[in-house]
Structure 1
């Protein structure tokens, strides 16, 4: 029996726990997710290193999963645009059962390996693409079908699973095992298995974006200010990076369509918006290199 499906003997009387103890148990069990991701840190770093040249060459990130794993992949793909201005067309997600499965469970869809392969092939994967394959069990047919189609197309395949020696980890070019063990509610991999996948995806995509110069120091300088909150965040980030007051930061941001990177270079080097853009382009988007030029 898979670890994720094995009943947790430590909590065999979970339904009898007083509410306070029940809540403490559910929270405490989540710490296993953090430890599982920590144990896989070298594999996650290897995945970032392998993905970087492909993405830097114009490749796409493609997430594939079913159920909770698939929804977590969708979430990571969607959040890259507002956080890092990552183009929508370069962060694609496949969820077994299609878009409707984001909101209503389509349980049988995960058993269709042929559909997984067909859905992946429909994205026309190439050698510069990076395919992230997520399955708590590590053996979901839909995900394995997509993995094999991605591998046949020459894409980089990165497999995430919550059980040791799982097929999705064995068959992927880079396998990442998040060994979270038995769930406190037996088999409910939306709990710590899902938490570990969320942490791992956050870590992978954030580290990749740092390497792609979407971050200056530890400041998120390539965000899309699509609402009032993010406009204020853009102003604050520009102030933090340059020491400018709010009025000066906002004035320059308004001239460059609230592109924080451009504002930082223009303010710091006391140059025009046009020249700041040229410096950033020459530095391939690196604020640090543009400032050193």
Structure 2
């Protein structure tokens, strides 16, 4: 379930700021009039429109059953582009801030799996918390492998402790790197693996799950996946806007979104890295060059949708439903 273009934009009040761990701050948001917030499903995130003009995506880490408050948990990243620093240093209780969403690119499957195996690295625990709440309440077979630099940096340990041995807490300074092979065991059908965390953890999990049945692994990235571009993949091409017939040239080294904006054509977008799904656009004709970190291998092979903030074309012309 991804963006459909009809997410709500809301102006919400910061009702509380709560320290969850070393460097991890939760932001609680509510309607000023006390009305219910829109419903959401585990794995969803919001676009947070910060006072500086930056827009950043943060996972909802609270309970979907709580319609009065949304909770976002933000890690202070010294090397960030400014979003996490602004959340930590600028936002204060009583402030009002605009959000867009919720949007879910990381949803639990509609058909319940026999087993759920969750893997979290650091702040990657945030989208998994509501998932765990749902599967735990259903009585499903589940477990969580949770790693971080140290216990002091790992958020929500006290909340997770109530699940007992289903939660394996493995801080790196005590246990080293997560032993994914031991945790996951041999490939098996009927298992859904959900992983969120830094890129090395995601890459390692993808490697371990490479021999598992297709569709087993679900990952969410907070940063774009590395993408190698050859000169033959970066030639100029034409984008045809199907609804108007207008044609726009996309020069070498630019994305479709870049070219459209330069010609005064506005398309909803947010991350500009191919990780949030806001700019997802239907492909009418042509073959896209997928450079996002969101579409599954099956979705890429279908070639009927693309993230135009990073994507280009494999050919001289691409027709989009715009």
TM-score (norm 1): 0.35
Q: Whose strand proportion is higher, 1 or 2?
A: 2
Higher relative contact order (CA 8 A, sep 6+): 1
Larger radius of gyration between Structure 1 and Structure 2: 1
TM-score (norm 2): 0.33
Q: Whose helix proportion is higher, 1 or 2?
A: 1
